[in-house]
Amino acid sequence: MAWFETNGRRLPWRTTRDPYAILVSEVMLQQTQVERVVPRWRRWLERWPTIDSLAAASPADVIVEWQGLGYNRRAVNLHRAARFVAEHGWPDDFTELPGVGPYTAAAIGNFAFGRDVLPVDVNIRRIQERTGATFDASCAQALFDLGATVCLARIPRCDACPLAGACPSRGSRYEPLRKQSRFEGSFRQRRANALRAVAAGEQPQDGDALVSLARDGLVELRDGVAALPA
């Protein structure tokens, strides 16, 4: 924790306990780099500052605002979660919200409601496995940053690590993890291109991509014409 006081990243969502703002940050961060998320998170909250304001938005507006963050289904789930909370309030079990799994539920519980639960992401799990140590919920943000900047996946910076003195893995090197399949030329890219075209009022000719987007609730097909959800 002393290391974190000096070396922690100053991220805007760490200054709030608003569960909605934290939910937005966690959903954006699921598969997007922190540097890209920071300005988009701020812009999102400027446009929809409360969960009720997001719930009142149209799915089409939400999808358009999400463009560029990737994995657009996250936007649809976030919008559905907002509508759930607007109608029913925050559930005790956050996994009842669309798109919220155990990790995101733990993050909301910890950072917004002060629950004694450690949200274990890939960074925290890596530190746990390498050190064999047990950490309580108060260490979550420090562990995030330690894993992101020091206890790296392949070549950890053990000389800069506050846990190195007692770490049994100190000095180890690791094989590269299996990389995600290339985006260029992939079906994911075809889906992204098709969605971008529909958002611009065009009619893409990639039928398979449109069917896939419709299945995820990202577009609607009406008499063979694709449109964003009303």
Given a cut of 90, is residue 186 above it in pLDDT? Answer: no
Band the pLDDT of 31: cuts 50, 70, 90: confident
Q: Which of 98, 78, 90 is nearest to 17 (CA)?
A: 90
If you count DSSP H runs as helices and E runs as strands, how many of each does the chain have, helices first? 11, 2
Neighbours of 224 (CB within 10 A): 8
113 CB neighbour count, 10 Å cutoff: 14
Number of neighbours of residue 26 by Cβ within 10 angstroms:
23
Residue 57 has pLDDT above 80, yes or no: yes
Report which listed range, 43-52, 67-76, 172-181, 221-230, is most confident.
43-52
**What pLDDT sits at residue 201?**
87
Computed over every residue of the chain, the mean pLDDT equals 93
Assess whether pLDDT exceeds 90 at residue 160. Answer: yes
Give the C-alpha separation, 130 to 228, whole Å: 46
Which domains does the chain show, CATH number per domain?
9-113 (1.10.340.30), 122-166 (no CATH), 187-227 (no CATH)
- For the stretch 115-146, pLDDT in tens is 999 999 999 999 999 999 999 999 999 999 99
pLDDT band of 178, cuts 50, 70, 90: low
Contact 48, 60 (CB under 8 A): no
Question: What pLDDT score was predicted for residue 113?
Answer: 97
Q: How confident is the model at residue 54 (pLDDT cuts 50, 70, 90)?
A: very high
Predicted confidence (pLDDT) at residue 177 exceeds the cutoff of 70: no
Going from the C-alpha of 88 to that of each of 92, 97, 110, 228, the distances in angstroms are 11, 11, 21, 26
**pLDDT at position 180:** 62
DSSP 27-53: HHHTSS-HHHHHHHHHHHHHH--SHHH
| Rg value, the chain, Cα | 20
Q: Where are the beta strands (DSSP E) in the chain?
A: 220-222, 225-227
Active site residues: 26
pLDDT at 72 over 80: yes
- Using 50, 70 and 90 to split pLDDT, how confident is the model at 207? confident
Please report which confidence band the pLDDT of residue 34 belongs to, taking 50, 70 and 90 as the band edges. Answer: very high
What pLDDT is recorded for position 187?
Answer: 86
105 vs 180, more confident:
105
Q: 10 exposed, middle or buried (CB, 10 Å; 0-12, 13-18, 19+)?
A: exposed
